[in-house]
Amino acid sequence: MPSEKVKACAQAIAERKWKIAFVESATAGRMCAEFALTEKSGDILRGGISCYEVFIKENILRVPHALIEKHTAESAEVTKSLAANAAPLFKSEIIVAVTGLIAPGGSETAEKPVGTMFLHIVFPNESIAHREVFKGDPEAIVLQAIDRTAALIAGALLSQKNQYII
């Protein structure tokens, strides 16, 4: 069941008559699936790519190997590249890319502990880069990242709308 934040976000996207697409590493398609369960999914959802393994990031989404080597697969830089490279594939008004660490064994460090998630959201005239550390088991981390993504999108759509009110 999608959360209230996801449902509200889907409604806000539908009111714009926009489409959304996802490029997901750590969330492995769960974000797209949550939006697919909303009442507005048929109006808003273009689709998604799960790019959990570096192979997909490099060979399908064309993230440069050097970028991954320099910053790791779970980084703001790689997440931004995923979003930028997915944009021409999906031709959606909103592209969401996500990478992160939901369990030990990746590129975690003291500065980037398990629970660190990187989001990059692209809109027609702006983008949002967001890094946050969530607590809990892998599923809890993923669900918190999904809700934060929905809140960021809804907030951006609201602020864009208010820019035009005189």
Percent of the chain with pLDDT over 90: 93
DSSP SS3 for 38: coil
Mean pLDDT of the chain: 95
∠ at Cα 106 (103, 111), nearest 5°?
90
Q: What is the pLDDT of residues 27-71, one digit of tens each?
A: 999 999 999 999 999 999 999 999 999 999 999 999 999 999 999
Fold for 4-8+19-30+40-158, please state it: Maf protein (3.90.950)
Q: What are phi and psi of 89, to 5 degrees?
A: -70, -40
pTM: 0.94
Sequence-distant contacts of 34-38: CB under 8 A, at least 24 apart = 34/2, 34/3, 34/6, 34/146, 35/2, 35/6, 35/9, 35/10, 37/1, 37/2, 38/2, 38/6, 38/7, 38/10, 38/11
What's the pLDDT score for residue 161? 63
Domain definitions of the chain by residue range: 4-8+19-30+40-158
Residue with tokens 């809700």: 147
CB 61 within 8 A of CB 86: yes
